[in-house]
Chains A and B, each alone.
Chain A
Amino acid sequence: MRELKYREAIDEATRQAMAKDERVFVLGVGVDDAKGIFGTTRGATLEFGPNRVFDTPLSEAALTGVAIGAALRGLHPLLVHARNDFLMLTMDQLVNNAAKWRYMSGGSMRVPLTIRAIIGRGWGQAAQHSQSLQAMFAHVPGLHVVMPATPADAKGLLLTALTTEAPVICLEHRWLYEKTGPVAEEAYYTPLGHAAVVRQGTHVTVAAMSLMVLEALQAAESLAAESIAVEVIDLRTARPLDSETVCASVAKTGRLVIADTGWRSYGVSAELAARVGRECFGDLRAPVERVALPDVPTPCTSALERAYYPGAAEIGAAIRATLLVRGRAPAAPSVEARGKEFSGPF
């Protein structure tokens, strides 16, 4: 199959959705400029022009409400943010309006609204440009949160979002943008709430999302040399959360490591651990381990950034902990060390 970069897959999904459905339009800070959100809105700008792709003032709170209004009147806005940190300015509209309009109206109205936002990381972007805030949104009934790890899912999940009659937040990790993978040419729709088993194994299950899926696969690869067979599950969506697929795997392995791009406490990993503890208590043969960000803001300096972000090595150590295997954690290089280090553009 043809290969595309993650960012190209987003661009293609946007154009295909717009071609199929004239209700879809794109707005956000910088969407129609020469850089086009790292290329993801450039194609739509060139193909559909200023009526359907346009820049906005830096008024994120208002524009979110504006998008809700347009959604209530028959359109499907795709609102784009260069960082998910900026969504904090829009929380009132997201949480108090978008998430509940359908419910509060007794089901008489719906809010078909798709929001894309990027998770930044690295090169000292620091505390306000690198957060991974999926848990904030996933907490809210009425919102959907998708976190594609592959180019194929970046396309399939965005296309699904753009045909869903409800608010969907797509969180894209900046470090995935240049990764390539097979992507079908035609439009296809990856269902929300369906995790994917991306590597089969029998000893330990690792359930991961977004960039952590790549780290988990790396950890699994290096442990395979020691005959530890790791099953890796890509959760793909944080809400709805497919604990069923995870439990089916845990029934086989008895051990679970959850790898989240967000903070450890109160996050998606906590929700998944609670569900697994409830739904397949009898299958667990070790405590559930979590690999996530420590509960501190992102430091700027590279000296502390390295300690802040867990990667394949930490996932490997967590896998060993569930197996009670003694010995040093495998020195698997993290995604950062393997690729050229991220240094912008931001």
Chain B
Amino acid sequence: MPPLAPERLKGFYVQMTRIRRAEEAIVARYPEQEIRCPTHLSIGQEAVAVGVCQALSEQDVVLSGHRCHAHYLAKGGSLRRMFAELYGKATGCCGGKGGSMHLASPETGMLGASAIVAGTVPIAVGAALAAALRGSDDVSVAFFGDAGIEQGVTHESLAFAALRRLPVVFVCENNLYATLTPLSKRQVSADVSPRAVAHGLPGVSVDGNDVLAVYEAAAHAVARARAGDGPTFIEAKTYRWREHVGPNFDVELGYRTQAELDAWMARDPLLRHARILETSGVLTAAERLALDREVEAEVADAVRFAKASPFPEPAALYADVD
């Protein structure tokens, strides 16, 4: 794979930082009780969304699940409209009717998210089927968690996509837990990708905290898909820092240890990428701080926009039903 231009590498950092800062703003604002919906944060998992979406073109599409902020943002969704959605405002990306678990931005290729685990995996396959039938070279991506692999519909989707050699990339974000239950209590093997191989498509595992590794795997899968060589399954091993749903840390619940959390926080995907950029002379520490400030300003603007926006009119309740 040809080396990435410095601007691209910086872009990866900015994308990840936007997700991190946006979700930190949710953490800071949640106690105000104006964000009135359950929020599942991706802090610690940013490299997966960014690495994958950076390998996509604008026409390509993604689908997601309950933990969808990162995918929405990485696929170019508006920050302002995301915050407006979280605040339940008419200016939100779903008019306030979807909320945190159903972010969508069809104009940038984010087709939506289901709060039913694995609910959108076959929908991504359907988007790929449409591309194949229409003769376009668009690729689609299904993002789901490690529990997504436990749903029958995921296996049916993998098998059908392989059968029809559809241009879809399955991205399993393996963050080791489903709510409070570790993977080892739910599946016999800690390695998820071999199960894709059994369905007849290549399955690879990557370090999901290494944005360049994720990008490389995704770029390869996307190229395969575009060339008509069919689907690929990518398992990205990563870790959720905060509680399953909500803004807090949750080590006190006892299902994971502080040492485990610390070890994963030491592998922070943002810092890791920043260090690479610094050592290779792409981005100095001072430049990085400046970029951080820009993103923070963008997030602050989005929060202001959301707060200042109106709630939907009552008639919106009955709109867009059938």
Which residues of A are in contact with B by a Cβ distance under 8 Å? Answer: 29-30, 33-35, 55-62, 85-86, 88-89, 123-129, 294-297, 299-304, 307-308, 343-346
Contacts and interface: CB of A to CB of B under 8 A. Distances in A.
B97 A34 contact: no
Contacts of A126: 37, 97-99, 101-102, 115
A278 to B, nearest CB: 30
Nearest to A299: B97
Given A30-B181, A123-B37, A128-B115, A300 B312 contact: no
Contacts of B179: 29-30, 33
Given A55-B186, A129-B38, A346-B245, 16 more contacts: A29-B178, A33-B179, A55-B181, A57-B147, A57-B186, A58-B118, A61-B151, A125-B37, A126-B99, A126-B115, A294-B317, A296-B317, A299-B96, A301-B311, A304-B88, A307-B314
A304 B98 contact: no
B255 A34 contact: yes
B276 interface: no
A237 B16 CA distance: 51
Contact of B150 (A57, A301, A345, A346): A57
Given A124-B36, A297-B321, A302 B245 contact: no
A343 B33 contact: yes
A158 B85 CA distance: 39
Most chain B CB atoms below 10 A, which of A30, A55, A61, A299: A299
A119 to B, nearest CB: 15
B34 to A, nearest CB: 9
Most chain B CB atoms below 10 A, which of A60, A125, A126, A345: A126
Contacts of B100: 124, 300
A124 B99 CA distance: 7
Contact of B181 (A33, A294, A297, A346): A33
Given A58-B151, A59-B150, A301 B186 contact: no
Contacts of A343: 33, 36
Contacts of B152: 59, 61-62
A89 B119 CA distance: 10
B89 interface: yes
B123 to A, nearest CB: 14
Contact of B99 (A59, A60, A62, A301): A301
B285 interface: no
A307 B118 CA distance: 31
